[in-house]
């Protein structure tokens, strides 16, 4: 973490100096971005936008305060990577339960009314991410994000107790979206209206914003239901502190998710498909009945529930909207997108694969930096079209995966004595779980070639940084202070792009690249950096050398890797890295040692391009449709 750049400051360095006056208690007449809903999608978006002090963001929430308990709890490895960029991973990792192993239980071969353990696997493939898969309550995740907002220069806080009731668009107005809001408590206030340049509906599965832009969720006709409870219990079930998928012969399926703090556990009791005939009965299922079902499934083990902290019958189907914005008008004509939807407002997933909260947060991360770039005048509005173009197909893929996965999980176990009977062989379920690991870890996302994702022409230069997928970090040594760290951890959620220049063998191409970027009239760095701003304010160049750090001299670094910044022109010593002797990043990520590679990474940590170090024109050309160049 770097601070004191513009002068010494006392106190907690993670609290930004306040920008202007604090957020007014009343809704202003106009805002740049109005976010509707403070669930995971809305709060990631708000946390990201709060990093842009010049952007006036407000977030309205129907609830009268922050979420305190319940809802989702699985945090995929990819989400922890994103949290690191927000400065939240240490806190999350300290508090959360780490899912290291997953176990599978099935009816015992000798007594099918009892269960026995069928298998145990490592939850996440080694090397998939430097971070684990963790479990912590959604309320805590939201609290971390609220904390980022409070520490930001805008000191952004949600406006609780306010709900959106209507949205109208009028393109003749500078703030084209008019939003009617109502206090959830009608005794306190009447309707107010706010005009916004952009509105983002993060308002959950029953989204009003989605309805206002004429979108609907399509997909499953029926919902699937689970009795979900967070309990404190005494049990002799030996795997209570492991994630456990349990299939019983005749009492249904149970998912055991150990929770943060060492004692709490979440139980998902599968209640099956919701039909017109069983809807009322399922909705009336109580915590006691769900506990009784769990007790039957767990036989011969006992489960004595001492306290139910949270219980809900959670019903959800796998559904998806066609578009995540209003870029196509009702008459079919194309227009600038002004209203977006994110998270459950545009896709819903079963609770089994733990996608809902994670995918929703990635939507917010994808859209946030794009809105920041457009509102700060660095990019053209076309950038905003990529949000729906990128995220809708990803949501479709995840729903396809989720359908297969939850069908497997919901199926009865095959009885080995009755080969003609249907059902899933638990060994097959376990093998599928291992294969599906990339999806559940959130690592399977791959953006297709487009303005933000280059063609794989030069992929061979850095095979381990696959274009379109998230930047897969690896250890390095920070050169100036010999600090061992992860290269990917230099990326903060600050809207900047990263250019990682992996040096060629004799560093001549690296030096030439730095010279070009620093001095050429065609340098993309010079073309996108505003007059007077720090050289890394838009594109943050970092270099990785092949030589051991003790064999490199500071004076051998190109001056661009020791940039002078801030009001005093202080030197930034954190741009150059060398490979770690024990885990060499060039080997780990298959980077061409002779020629090196330039890996271009988006603000949301996805690899946008891999280019030769001397492909200057291609580099500038890649960024032309993305940035307004000077
Ligand atoms: C009751 C419930 C239980 C759940 N249980 C589980 C579970 O057990 N396991 C699991 O994996 N997932 C569960 N989920 C799903 C998971 O929580 C979501 O996938 C995830 O929260 C999606 O995040 P989101 O931000 O898109 O939407 P949400 O978290 O739904 O957030 C939407 C927010 O918008 C607010 N809002 C809605 N309408 C308006 C309006 N008109 N004006 C202002 N604010 C509005 C809501 O109050 C809410 O805070 C549950 C969801 C709910 C609602």
Tokens standing for residue 307:
């306290």
Please give the distance, rounded to the nearest whole angstrom, from the Cα atom of residue 102 to the centre of ligand 1: 27
Please, what sign has the CA dihedral across residues 517, 523, 525, 526? positive
Taking the CA of residue 42 as reference, the ligand 1 atom at the shortest distance is 25
The secondary structure of the chain in percent helix, strand, coil, rounded to multiples of 5, reads 30, 25, 45
Q: Which protein residue has the closest C-alpha to ligand 1 atom 4?
A: 71
Please give the distance, rounded to the nearest whole angstrom, from the Cα atom of residue 140 to the centre of ligand 1: 14
Do both 163 and 235 map to the same domain? no
Please give the distance, rounded to the nearest whole angstrom, from the Cα atom of residue 61 to the centre of ligand 1: 11
User: For 93-105, what is the mean pLDDT?
Assistant: 96
* In-domain check, residue 23: no
| Separation between Cα atoms, residue 185 and residue 114, nearest integer Å | 51
Q: What is the CA radius of gyration of the chain?
A: 26
pLDDT exceeds 90 at position 181: yes
Task: Report pLDDT digits (tens) over 402-457.
Answer: 888 877 776 777 776 766 666 777 777 777 777 788 888 999 999 999 999 999 99
* In-domain check, residue 4: no
| Separation between Cα atoms, residue 354 and residue 402, nearest integer Å | 9
Tell me, what's the pLDDT at 404? 84
Tell me, what's the pLDDT at 429? 76
Do both 464 and 551 map to the same domain? yes
Task: Report pLDDT digits (tens) over 256-292.
Answer: 999 999 999 999 999 888 988 899 999 999 999 999 9
Domain boundary among 359, 381, 400: 400
Taking the CA of residue 342 as reference, the ligand 1 atom at the shortest distance is 26
* In-domain check, residue 596: yes
Q: Which protein residue has the closest C-alpha to ligand 1 atom 50?
A: 71
Please give the distance, rounded to the nearest whole angstrom, from the Cα atom of residue 24 to the centre of ligand 1: 27
Closest CA to 102 of 311, 443, 404, 409: 409
Taking the CA of residue 41 as reference, the ligand 1 atom at the shortest distance is 25
Do both 210 and 301 map to the same domain? no
SS3 state at 324 = coil
Please give the distance, rounded to the nearest whole angstrom, from the Cα atom of residue 442 to the centre of ligand 1: 19
pLDDT band at 188 (very low <50, low <70, confident <90, very high): low
* In-domain check, residue 424: no
Taking the CA of residue 343 as reference, the ligand 1 atom at the shortest distance is 26
Evaluate whether 509 touches 595 at the Cβ level (below 8 Å): yes
Mean pLDDT of the chain: 93
Q: How many CB atoms lie under 10 A from the CB of residue 590?
A: 16
Domain boundary among 285, 316, 347: 316
* 100 or 421, which is more confident: 100
* In-domain check, residue 51: yes
Please give the distance, rounded to the nearest whole angstrom, from the Cα atom of residue 344 to the centre of ligand 1: 7
Do both 496 and 609 map to the same domain? yes
pLDDT exceeds 70 at position 368: yes
Do both 282 and 325 map to the same domain? no
Span of 122-131, 198-207, 603-612 with lowest mean pLDDT:
122-131
CATH number (domain holding residue 396): 3.50.50.60
Task: Report pLDDT digits (tens) over 510-538.
Answer: 999 999 999 999 999 999 999 999 999 99
The total number of structural domains in the chain stands at: 3
Residue 231 parent element (H or E)? strand 224-235
* In-domain check, residue 437: no
Please give the distance, rounded to the nearest whole angstrom, from the Cα atom of residue 203 to the centre of ligand 1: 7
pLDDT band at 184 (very low <50, low <70, confident <90, very high): confident
Do both 482 and 345 map to the same domain? no
Please give the distance, rounded to the nearest whole angstrom, from the Cα atom of residue 630 to the centre of ligand 1: 43
Do both 160 and 274 map to the same domain? no
Please give the distance, rounded to the nearest whole angstrom, from the Cα atom of residue 39 to the centre of ligand 1: 6
Closest CA to 344 of 398, 288, 419: 398
pLDDT exceeds 90 at position 25: no
SS3 state at 221 = coil
Which residues have CB under 6 Å of ligand 1? 36-42, 60-63, 71-72, 138, 163-164, 202-204, 208, 228, 312, 314, 343-345, 351, 354, 356-357, 360
Quick check: bond before 300 cis, omega within 30?
A: yes
User: For 354-376, what is the mean pLDDT?
Assistant: 96
Domain boundary among 260, 281, 316: 316
Q: Which protein residue has the closest C-alpha to ligand 1 atom 38?
A: 203
| Separation between Cα atoms, residue 162 and residue 60, nearest integer Å | 6
Do both 175 and 45 map to the same domain? yes
| Separation between Cα atoms, residue 276 and residue 525, nearest integer Å | 60
Residue 543 parent element (H or E)? strand 539-545
Do both 154 and 299 map to the same domain? no
Q: How many CB atoms lie under 10 A from the CB of residue 187?
A: 5
Tell me, what's the pLDDT at 440? 87
Q: For residue 490, which phi and psi values (nearest 5 degrees)?
A: -75, -20
Taking the CA of residue 345 as reference, the ligand 1 atom at the shortest distance is 26
Tell me, what's the pLDDT at 276? 87
| Separation between Cα atoms, residue 468 and residue 455, nearest integer Å | 9
Do both 173 and 243 map to the same domain? no
CATH number (domain holding residue 236): 3.30.9.10
Task: Report pLDDT digits (tens) over 134-151.
Answer: 999 999 999 999 999 999
Tell me, what's the pLDDT at 361? 97
Indicate the pTM of the whole model.
0.96
Strand partners, 579: 476
User: For 61-72, what is the mean pLDDT?
Assistant: 93
* In-domain check, residue 93: no
What is the extent of the structural domain holding 40? 30-71+80-86+136-219+320-400
pLDDT band at 316 (very low <50, low <70, confident <90, very high): confident
Please, what sign has the CA dihedral across residues 416, 421, 425, 428? positive
Angle at 181 between CA 179 and CA 184, to 5 degrees: 155
Tell me, what's the pLDDT at 580? 87
CATH number (domain holding residue 546): 3.40.30.20
Please give the distance, rounded to the nearest whole angstrom, from the Cα atom of residue 314 to the centre of ligand 1: 11
| Separation between Cα atoms, residue 376 and residue 573, nearest integer Å | 28
Do both 106 and 144 map to the same domain? no
* In-domain check, residue 439: no
Q: Which protein residue has the closest C-alpha to ligand 1 atom 33?
A: 37
Q: For residue 82, which phi and psi values (nearest 5 degrees)?
A: -65, -40
Do both 35 and 66 map to the same domain? yes
Taking the CA of residue 268 as reference, the ligand 1 atom at the shortest distance is 8
Residue 99 parent element (H or E)? strand 97-99
């Amino acid at each position: 973490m770097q601070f004191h750049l513009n002068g010494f400051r006392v106190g907690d360095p993670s609290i930004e100096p306040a920008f202007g006056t604090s957020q007014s208690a009343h809704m202003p007449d106009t805002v740049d971005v109005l976010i509707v809903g403070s669930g995971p999608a809305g709060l990631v978006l708000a946390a990201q936008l709060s990093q842009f002090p010049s952007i006036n963001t407000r977030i309205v929430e129907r609830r009268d305060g922050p979420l305190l308990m319940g809802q989702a709890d699985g945090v995929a490895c990819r989400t922890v990577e994103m949290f690191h960029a927000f400065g939240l991973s240490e806190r999350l990792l300290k508090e959360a339960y780490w899912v290291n192993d997953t176990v599978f239980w099935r009816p015992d071969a000798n007594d099918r009314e009892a269960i026995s353990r069928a298998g145990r696997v490592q939850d996440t493939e080694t090397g998939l991410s430097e971070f684990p898969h963790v479990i912590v309550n959604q309320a805590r995740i939201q609290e971390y994000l609220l904390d980022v907002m409070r520490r930001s220069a805008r000191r952004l806080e949600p406006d609780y107790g306010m709900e959106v009731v209507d949205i109208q668009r009028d393109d003749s107005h500078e703030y084209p979206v008019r939003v009617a809001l109502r206090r959830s408590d009608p005794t306190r206030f009447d309707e107010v209206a706010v005009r916004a340049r952009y509105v983002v509906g993060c308002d959950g599965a029953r989204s009003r914003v989605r309805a206002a832009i004429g979108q609907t969720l399509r997909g499953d006709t029926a919902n699937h239901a689970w009795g979900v409870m967070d309990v404190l219990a005494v049990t002799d079930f030996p795997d209570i502190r492991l994630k456990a998928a349990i299939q019983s012969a005749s009492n249904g399926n149970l998912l055991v998710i150990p929770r943060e703090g060492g004692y709490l556990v979440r139980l998902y009791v599968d209640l099956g498909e919701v039909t017109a005939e069983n809807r009322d009965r399922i909705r009336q299922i109580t915590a006691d009945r769900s506990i009784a079902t769990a007790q039957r499934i767990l036989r011969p083990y006992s489960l004595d529930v001492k306290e139910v902290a949270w219980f809900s019958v959670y019903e959800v189907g796998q559904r998806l909207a066609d578009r995540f914005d209003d870029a196509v008008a009702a008459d079919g004509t194309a227009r600038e997108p002004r209203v977006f939807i994110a998270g459950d407002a545009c896709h819903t997933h079963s609770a089994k694969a733990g996608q809902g909260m994670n995918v929703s947060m990635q939507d917010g991360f994808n859209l946030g930096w794009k809105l920041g770039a457009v509102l700060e005048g660095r990019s053209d509005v076309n950038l905003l079209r990529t949000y729906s173009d990128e995220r809708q197909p990803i949501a479709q893929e995840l729903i396809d995966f989720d359908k297969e996965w939850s069908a497997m999980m919901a199926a009865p176990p095959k009885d080995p004595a009755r080969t003609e009977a249907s059902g899933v062989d638990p060994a097959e379920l376990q093998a599928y779980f291992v294969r599906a690991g990339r999806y559940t870890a959130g690592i399977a996302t791959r953006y297709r070639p487009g303005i933000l994702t280059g063609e794989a022409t030069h992929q061979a230069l850095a095979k381990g940084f696959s274009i379109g997928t998230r930047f897969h970090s690896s250890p390095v040594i920070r050169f100036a202070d010999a600090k061992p760290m992860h290269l990917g951890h230099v990326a903060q959620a600050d809207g900047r792009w990263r250019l990682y220049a992996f040096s060629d063998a004799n560093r001549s191409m690296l030096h030439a690249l730095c010279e070009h970027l620093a001095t050429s009239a065609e340098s993309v760095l010079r073309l996108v950096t505003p007059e007077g701003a720090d050289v890394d304010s838009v594109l943050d160049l970092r270099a990785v050398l092949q030589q051991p750090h003790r064999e490199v001299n500071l004076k051998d670094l190109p001056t661009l890797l020791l940039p002078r910044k801030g009001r005093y022109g202080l030197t930034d010593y954190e741009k150059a890295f060398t490979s770690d002797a024990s885990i060499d990043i060039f080997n780990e990520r298959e980077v061409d040692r002779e020629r090196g590679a330039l890996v271009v990474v988006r603000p949301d940590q996805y690899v946008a391009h891999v280019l030769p170090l001397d492909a200057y024109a291609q580099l500038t050309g890649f960024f032309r449709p993305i940035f307004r160049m000077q």
